[in-house]
Amino acid sequence: MRLVIARCQVDYSGRLTAHLPMARRLLMLKADGSISVHADDRAYKPLNWMTPPCWFSEEDNVWVIVNKVGDQLRITIEDIEHDSTHELGVDPGLIKDGVEAHLQELLAEQVQTLGEGYTLVRREFPTAIGPVDLMCRDSDGAHVAVEIKRRGGIDGVEQLTRYLELLNRDPLLSPVRGVFAAQQIKPQAKTLAEDRGIRCLTLDYDGLRGIESDEFRLF
């Protein structure tokens, strides 16, 4: 990863146009070819960015990044205050918390929770952008990708959407539908999922573990 703090101007052209006037910013170039431009606010969200596949060139303090559809990010640098490169190595990926991991295990063992006739193909089904929690088949034999969360938010829906876009490019798997499963699903996440044709499923953790609720018991 290359980190550059510089006074720069940023211009994006292509399907849309955007301009950031000259100011002090952080430029982040990753090994996958992506680049993002950050200010000292907005939490994790960059001011502008280019995702791979894209191509980078640098000449006379001008960076030009072009993606596969011809969109161009042009960064004109006036002054560089810091320029460093760091080797981060291979990331082990996201490790789920205990409950989330256990939910995956329980749902894999009780895959009929997803619907009558469902069968498990594999847990942690590998893709180029990370493993899908569960890959299943429905009663008609069609593939279903399942993303499992403890608390289901918009980020989880976006993650499953990316998996589905990739999986549906594979003629051996397509069509692949999605199920977003969680103990709690936020209303905004449910709306987004349903808009994208993703089914939402609220999981009863205690029920999957075989623990009966004692909510209405006297003793």
Predicted confidence pLDDT, tens digits, the chain (219 residues): 999 999 999 999 988 899 999 999 999 998 888 899 999 987 778 999 988 888 999 999 999 999 888 999 999 999 999 999 998 877 666 555 557 888 888 999 999 999 999 999 999 999 888 899 999 999 999 999 999 998 899 999 999 999 999 999 999 999 999 999 999 999 999 999 999 999 999 988 888 887 544 444 444
Domain ranges of the chain: 2-85, 98-208
Q: Which CATH number fits domain 98-208: 2.30.40.10, 3.40.1350.10, 3.30.479.30, 3.90.190.10?
A: 3.40.1350.10
CATH number of 2-85: 2.70.180.20
Structure tokens at 169: 């490019």
Residues 6 and 78: beta-carbon distance below 8 Å:
yes
